[in-house]
Amino acid sequence: MFRKKDSGTSRQLLDGVELTTLVHGDKTLMGRFKLAEGAVIPAHSHPHEQTGIMISGRLRFNAGGEVLDVEAGDSWCLPGGVEHSVTALADSVVIEVFSPVREDYLP
């Protein structure tokens, strides 16, 4: 499956958090998250492995009890089942891949 850069399906997930589902297959889903400065994704967990790269901005991750500030170029991989939360320290853009596919993020 191929998608042109402006053809994804966008939606507001939370206040200040927008998800664009870019592409998905049978086993993975890729999304672009835009977070406004001050936006918070509350602590949660899910069974999906979550791999991401910071495109722009700055985020504070709290994952598995570890706190880490990430900026453009930083990347991560969170195993499924790990509780995590995110606070946007600046307007930010992130690309993340989930495996298996997050059905709640399908277009």
Q: What is the pLDDT of residues 3-40, one digit of tens each?
A: 887 777 799 999 999 999 999 999 999 999 999 999 99
In a domain, residue 58? The reply is yes
**Model pLDDT, residue 101:** 98
In a domain, residue 81? The reply is yes
**Model pLDDT, residue 42:** 98
In a domain, residue 2? The reply is no
In a domain, residue 1? The reply is no
Q: What is the pLDDT of residues 57-75, one digit of tens each?
A: 999 999 999 999 999 999 9
The total of structural domains in the chain comes to 1
Domain that holds residue 90: 11-105
In a domain, residue 5? The reply is no
Q: The whole model's pTM is what?
A: 0.92
C-beta of residue 44 within 8 angstroms of C-beta of residue 84: yes
- In this predicted structure, the answer to whether residue 1 has a pLDDT above a threshold of 80 is no
CA 92-94-96 angle, to 5 degrees, is: 160
In a domain, residue 3? The reply is no
Q: What is the CATH number of the domain that holds 78?
A: 2.60.120.10
